[in-house]
Amino acid sequence: MTDQDANRTGTADTRYTGTVVVGGPPDVRRLDEVEIRKLAVGPLSNNAYVLTCRRSGDRLLVDAAAEPDRLLDLERHAPGDGALTVVVTTHAHRDHVGALADVVARTGAQAAVGVQDAPAVEAATGVRADRNLRHGDVVHVGAVVLEVIALRGHTPGSVALAYREPGTATGPYAVADRVHLFTGDSLFPGGVGNTDRDPVRFARLLDDVVDRVFRRFGDDTWVYPGHGDDTTLGAERPHVDAWRARGW
Give dist(CA 151, CA 210) in Å, integer: 10
Going along the chain from its start, the domains and CATH numbers come out as 3-246 (3.60.15.10)
Give dist(CA 195, CA 207) in Å, integer: 13
5-41 residue pLDDT tens: 333 333 346 699 999 999 999 999 999 999 999 999 9
DSSP 69-120: HHHHHHHHTSSSS--EEEEEES---GGGTTTHHHHHHHH-PEEEEETTTHHH
What's the pLDDT at 81?
87
Give percent above pLDDT 70 in the chain: 90
Q: Does 246 have pLDDT greater than 70?
A: yes
50-90 residue pLDDT tens: 999 999 999 999 999 999 999 999 999 998 889 999 999 99
End-to-end CA separation in angstroms for the chain: 45
217 and 233 in contact (C-beta within 8 Å)?
yes
What's the pLDDT at 177?
82
Q: What is the mean pLDDT of the chain?
A: 92
137-176 residue pLDDT tens: 999 999 999 999 999 999 999 999 999 998 655 555 445 5
